[in-house]
Structure 1
Amino acid sequence: METAYSPKKAPHKVTPLPCPCMLWPAFPSSQNSLTLTSPKFGMRTMLQLRDTLTKEGPAFGYYPNPLKTWLVTKEGFHTIGSTTFHQTGVNVTPDGRPYLGSPIGSPGYMESFAESKVASWSALVTNLADIANTQPHAAYSALNHGLSSKWTYMCRTTPSRIMSQRLAPLDEALRKKLIPSLTGTPPPNDTEYTLFALPAREGGLGIRIPSKQATHEYNASLFVTSALCNHIIKQDTHYGQEIISESLMAKSTVGQQNRDRTKNDINTLTPLLSTNMQRSVNLSKEKGASSWLTTLPLKTHGFTLHKQAFRDALSLRYGWTPNKLPSKCACGSSFTVEHVLSCAKGGFPSIRHNEIRDLTADLLSEVCNNVCTEPELLPVTGENLAGASANIQPGARLDIAANGVWGGSFERTYFDVRVFNPHAASNRHTDPQTVYRKHEQIKKRAYEQRILDIEQASFSPLVLSATGGLAREATTFYKRLASMLASKWDQSYSSTLCWLRCRLTFSLLRSSIQAIRGSRSSSGHPFRSGAIDLVISETHLHQ
């Protein structure tokens, strides 16, 4: 029986609630389990329960409303139920009713309910696809942070034999309407659709295939709630630590099963991808590289992308060629993504580098003292620096210096930033971790001994890829920085580190998109005008 109640102080609000367990002691133990000897006896017991709720419920703030109370009977018992409850105002049906968003009742009712829900979800996805034509970032976030939870919940609470066979229209709406609107490309083939279904941290988009998730979600729900269900069936009012531990262990098991299933999907999918897409997906799987996808696109915090930028970001993620690119770069080379991310024409690599430098320096200023950018190093005056690649030039500068990063407030650390293009010809055929180590070693050979011997300080190279990955020492440093920021701001370390990675990823992503779409033709052209003092004098600007 589904019982609705109206709170005494808010009669307009109706909320479905289960029967309060404190009322069950009013019934003999033989009736508590509702193992009834005959339909008539069962109906009389339900009526007695309803009367007890009406009488005793207000003491617990429970006010049954008969007009919104439904009794769902099995087939053939509708007449007995209607006769028993005919003077109570309780609704009796042999079909079924939605309860907390899921159907209960006859198979026919559950099937029709599922079909109607799938039709409404498909319509919502179609509407979301229209929004995605102009606001793809917002539409993608609305899907993964809101809309998809509707069918995920129902897949968990409705038998998979009913759901999985009726989700095909929703699959089609996602594949043929929403995804093309998000990406600006034709509908994905089977391989791409499976790739997009992977979690963002595994190189996908997290757009799961509903018909494939139904069975897994329902079985997982049964497994996780089994301990609690058995507890309820036994009518045991003591909810102890044993039940909690069993439920937590079940959740952990389901999580591991999901990870194993994802790993198997990746192993099956990888050989089907092109070499270029395999490398792009591997780069997107680096820690923090997908945070721009999983965060909410809030303009206040600078985490939004307009429609062209969002689709360009997806193109970079999957090795696609962005739309409407010129055929030639301003430098005369062919205009390809691999080329423009490294082309110095227009100064975009320097802009990308300076974005990371300035962001890092600003954050260091929050928790360290004596922070400066581009500090000049002490000159080499007779010191013997080993290595032919050591930088001994006078006036040499690094990117950042700060006190108090690794030690006391007087212990100084120097940082030098390098952001490299993983798609460049010198990098794309090498394992990314090897490329990271190579660039770290280049920085260390150039500066580390000079910093240690002459500055008597420490040195940390900050090597990042243009796709959002970090080298080992950069990872260690940003974890340390997140820990210091979390302590000062009184926030959790994990949340602060996630926010920091997101800021770095958005800075790199916007810089890469600017390198693709930015103008290079006017870069380096001098401004031609008369002498500024003569112009001001003759035009009386000083007045």
Structure 2
Amino acid sequence: MLAIPWNSAMLLHLRYDRSPSDLPSHCDGCGERFSVTHALSCTKGGLVLQRHNEVRDELSDLAAKAFIPSAVRDEPRVQLSRSAATDASPSSDSPVVLTPSEERGDLLIRGLWQRGTDGIIDVRVINLDAASHCRKDPDKVLRNGERDKKRKYLDACLSQRRHFTPFVVSADGLLGAETEALAKRISALLAAKWERPYSVVRGYVNARLSLAILRARHLCMRGSRVPAGTMSYRRYLWDADGALALFR
């Protein structure tokens, strides 16, 4: 009898809304009872952040293929705060200095929607099974996620003559409306660049995004939440003797 690989078995369980049988009984990060919903929501160990980064990196790779690698930048500053002399009145002619803030998007793509205009993208992965979302319509939850991103970043981007696109997906693989539009844009550029039918390239892009979301979901369910500092405090010191020891 041919055994089903464990990752394929997990995918089949999740597809039919069943929990895999080999999940741990308790979370190794917070000690709560472990379940699929808890795995996708627990913030201990940084796996939720890694889930976000998995989707972001896949989008960055697709964008680099559609444009050129130098047109894609990561973590662009979004908001610029205006500051001037504290004793200057609002009607004075004192120069206004734009200072960068710590608010950052995930990607900046030059020429995303229009030639010569930058587009900033911010990624969000939503767990639709969380207590705050499980009783809501999934499409509405994704729309609310896009609306929150636009409320936070859109005005600041427009004031800098840049476009802003929220990239909101669910941990189950659903794509928001803005995400669908961005996937179509990347697919059209790749189809023209590779001289392939649009339908074929669109399927390729959708498959890449779906697999990235699946890897991100799998990471939250199978990854370790135990901090590395609790396992070992020893750090290798790269002093002169230590570095030379590698070449002996």
Alignment TM-score, normalising by the size of structure 1: 0.40
Superposition deviation, residue 411 in structure 1:
0.8
Residue 376 of structure 1 pairs with residue 77 of structure 2: yes
Picking from 522, 528, 537, the partner of 2:233 is: 528
Residue 346 of structure 1 pairs with residue 20 of structure 2: no
Q: Percent identity?
A: 34
Contact 1:361 1:371 in 2 (8 A): yes
Picking from 158, 162, 166, the partner of 1:457 is: 162
Q: Which has the higher strand share?
A: 2
Residue number in structure 1 paired with 2:22: 324
Residue 359 of structure 1 pairs with residue 65 of structure 2: no
Contact 1:374 1:399 in 2 (8 A): yes
Rg bigger for which structure? 1
- Separation in 2, partners of 1:320, 1:373: 37
Residue number in structure 1 paired with 2:91: none
Residue number in structure 2 paired with 1:476: 181
Picking from 500, 504, 522, the partner of 2:209 is: 504
Residue 514 of structure 1 pairs with residue 210 of structure 2: no
Moved more, 465-474 or 354-363: 354-363
What is the 5 A alignment of 1:151-230?
A: none
Residue number in structure 1 paired with 2:132: 426
- Separation in 2, partners of 1:374, 1:450: 15
Contact 1:345 1:523 in 2 (8 A): no
Comparing both chains, which one has the higher relative contact order based on Cα–Cα distances under 8 Å and sequence gaps of 6 or more? 2
Superposition deviation, residue 523 in structure 1:
4.5
SS at match of 2:165: strand
Superposition deviation, residue 382 in structure 1:
5.2
- Separation in 1, partners of 2:170, 2:188: 23
In structure 2, stretches of 5+ residues that fail to align are 85-98
Query: Residues 386-410 of structure 1, C-alpha deviation per residue, up to 9 Å, x if partnerless?
Result: xxxxxx98122100001112111x1
Query: Residues 392-450 of structure 1, C-alpha deviation per residue, up to 9 Å, x if partnerless?
Result: 98122100001112111x11100000011111111111000110111111111111101
SS at match of 1:419: strand
SS at match of 1:380: strand
Count of aligned residue pairs for this structure pair:
231
Superposition deviation, residue 526 in structure 1:
7.1
- Separation in 1, partners of 2:113, 2:235: 52
Superposition deviation, residue 536 in structure 1:
3.8
What is the 5 A alignment of 1:2-401?
A: 130-131=1-2, 134=3, 136=4, 307-330=5-28, 331-369=30-68, 370-377=71-78, 379-381=80-82, 394-401=101-108
Residue 403 of structure 1 pairs with residue 101 of structure 2: no
Superposition deviation, residue 522 in structure 1:
3.9
Residue number in structure 2 paired with 1:261: none
- Separation in 2, partners of 1:468, 1:341: 13
- Across the aligned residues of Structure 1 and Structure 2, the Cα RMSD in angstroms comes to 2.3
Distance 1:498 1:484, change over 3 A: same
Superposition deviation, residue 359 in structure 1:
1.3
Superposition deviation, residue 350 in structure 1:
1.5
Contact 2:80 2:156 in 1 (8 A): no
Moved more, 458-467 or 532-541: 532-541
- Separation in 2, partners of 1:524, 1:340: 21
Query: Residues 479-499 of structure 1, C-alpha deviation per residue, up to 9 Å, x if partnerless?
Result: 111011111011111111111
Moved more, 354-363 or 522-531: 522-531
In structure 1, stretches of 5+ residues that fail to align are 1-129, 137-306, 384-391
